[in-house]
Amino acid sequence: MKPSNDPTIQFILDSALQLTREQKETQIQLETEKFSASAEYKAVLESAFGISELTDIQEEDFNHAVFVSWKFINTLRRSKTGTTI
């Protein structure tokens, strides 16, 4: 299957293009809360941006912050399953 036909990739791309900043913030907040990982997530943001709240990230850094946030969430998902792939 071509990557462009992969529904998961299509969903990620659509989300990145169509969601507003507030919707992206909510999505990420829900995911981190699902893992009860708020303290750890604040540490991740503090480490990368010197700011511990996604809502306080400046507009020019926001896309990078979204990337960092999903990388963190993905690590939590992998840590849960123990997979290294």
Partner 1 sequence: MNSVESLNLSILERGLAQSEIVAVWKVWRQGGTFSDFSPALKRRMTLSAGYALEGSSPALLSVGKESFVSKCFGSSWARSAIVQESTPDPELERLASGGYHSAIADEPSYDIMSVICRDEKDRRMKLLYERLIVPLPLADGTVRLTGCMTAPLVPIQWLSGQEIPTIRS
Q: Which residues bind partner 1 (CB under 8 A)?
A: 35-40, 43-44, 46-50, 67-68, 71-72, 75-76, 78-80, 82-84
Residue 37 vs 57, nearer CB to partner 1: 37
Helix axes 59-81, 21-34, angle to 10 degrees: 30
We find the least distance from the C-beta atom of residue 2 to partner 1, in angstroms, to be: 27
Long-range CB contacts for residues 3-6, cutoff 8 Å, separation at least 24:
none
57 is written with which tokens? 């990230």
We find the least distance from the C-beta atom of residue 46 to partner 1, in angstroms, to be: 7
Residue 14 vs 77, nearer CB to partner 1: 77
Looking from the CA of 71 toward its CB, the CA atoms found within 13 Å total 9
